[in-house]
Amino acid sequence: MSWFEKLVPTRIRTEGSPKRKVPEGLWEKCAGCGAILYRAELERNQDVCPKCGHHKRIGARRRLDLFLDPEPRTEIGAELEPRDVLKFRDSKKYKDRLSAAQKKTGEKDALVVVKGQVMGVPLVAAAFEFGFMGGSMGAVVGERFVRAVETCLAEGIPLVCFAASGGARMQEALISLMQMAKTSAALGRMARKGIPYVSVLTDPTMGGVSASLAMLGDVHLAEPGALIGFAGPRVIEQTVREKLPEGFQRSEFLLEHGAIDRIVDRREMRDTVTDLLTMLMRQPAIRAD
């Protein structure tokens, strides 16, 4: 409350009237082109702007829901919960940040892993929840990812991961850094067994996640316009003290520099991944060309 409001006697104070509010959530402005979009239509279009093709960020559950066949689905590692080993505290306690993130997203941590199928092809799909502390990788994210890999190893089925993360989770300090090595080592085992791993880079994939599990795919796909890189653009700008080139660290930039295989529209993700996986595993085609 500002000092001025405090001066106003209580009986005169008025709370903002709810009648004046525009009904929320019916319309949405596209972050790409600024078009005002009807929310229901945007959702039907997998949160891709029908006008400009801008790919809106989506949560882990919705991501998996759009990607996987409706049945069967089994979640892996849901019982794992984050722990505050270091009793970390900055302006807020890590424990409180965790509770807030859990309440906001309904997730226990920033990675959701589900065993399921895509067009009948059995696989394990992992998706980062960017809304959960910026999709940061701590011990639970690392462990769930490893469980995903272990399931793939045990059942001989491929792995698809949708990355969306700011990087390592600072509140877990070196434990989170070590998750980079842990997830990379697990992927190494899978690679030696000849089980395919498709890494899908979505907006944003940065830091420790980018410099480990996200860049170790047999195939790297990216959604259009996703920010992908190691160091954040602001850090780079401060270091080199010059304006960064247009489109720097976007999917198209990475494609041009040879870091990713393809840019894939979200609405074609199921088809693309199915084709890639069945061909990698030398299985017959599932859908017509």
Return residues touching other proteins (CB under 8 A).
83, 85-86, 88-91, 138-140, 142-143, 146, 168-170, 172-182, 184-189, 191-192, 207-208, 210-216, 228-232, 235-236, 239-240, 244-245, 248-249, 253, 257-259
By beta-carbon proximity to other proteins, the closer residue of 36 and 174 is 174
Distance, in Å, from the CA atom of 271 to the CA atom of 268, rounded to the nearest integer, reads 5
Closest C-alpha to 165, from 104, 124, 213, 237: 213
Q: Is the Cβ–Cβ distance between 115 and 124 less than 8 Å?
A: yes
User: What does the chain come to in residues?
Assistant: 289
User: In terms of CB distance, is 30 or 110 closer to other proteins?
Assistant: 110
- Compute the distance between CA of residue 234 and CA of residue 214 in angstroms, rounded to an integer: 21
Query: In this structure, what token pair is assigned to residue 101?
Result: 């993130």
In terms of CB distance, is 139 or 160 closer to other proteins?
139
At its nearest, how many Å lie between other proteins and the CB of residue 267? 27
Smallest gap from residue 71 Cβ to other proteins (A) = 32
Minimum gap (Å) between residue 57 Cβ and other proteins: 20
- Residue 51's region, left for phi above 0, alpha for psi from -120 to 50, else beta, is alpha
Q: Where are the alpha helices (DSSP H) in the chain?
A: 3-7, 39-44, 60-67, 94-105, 139-155, 173-192, 207-210, 233-240, 251-256, 269-280
Smallest separation, CB 190 to other proteins (Å): 10
* HSE-up (13 A, CA, CB side) for residue 254: 27
d(CA 61, CA 38): 22
Q: How far is the CB of 46 from other proteins (least distance, A)?
A: 27
To the nearest whole angstrom, how small is the minimum distance from the Cβ of residue 80 to other proteins? 8
CB of 92 to other proteins, least distance (A): 9
Which is closer to other proteins, CB of 116 or CB of 229? Answer: 229
Residue closer to other proteins by CB (options 191, 263) is: 191
**Burial (CB count within 10 angstroms: exposed 0-12, middle 13-18, buried 19+), residue 119:** middle
Decide whether 117 or 184 has the Cβ nearer to other proteins.
184
Cβ-based nearer residue to other proteins, 64 or 228? 228
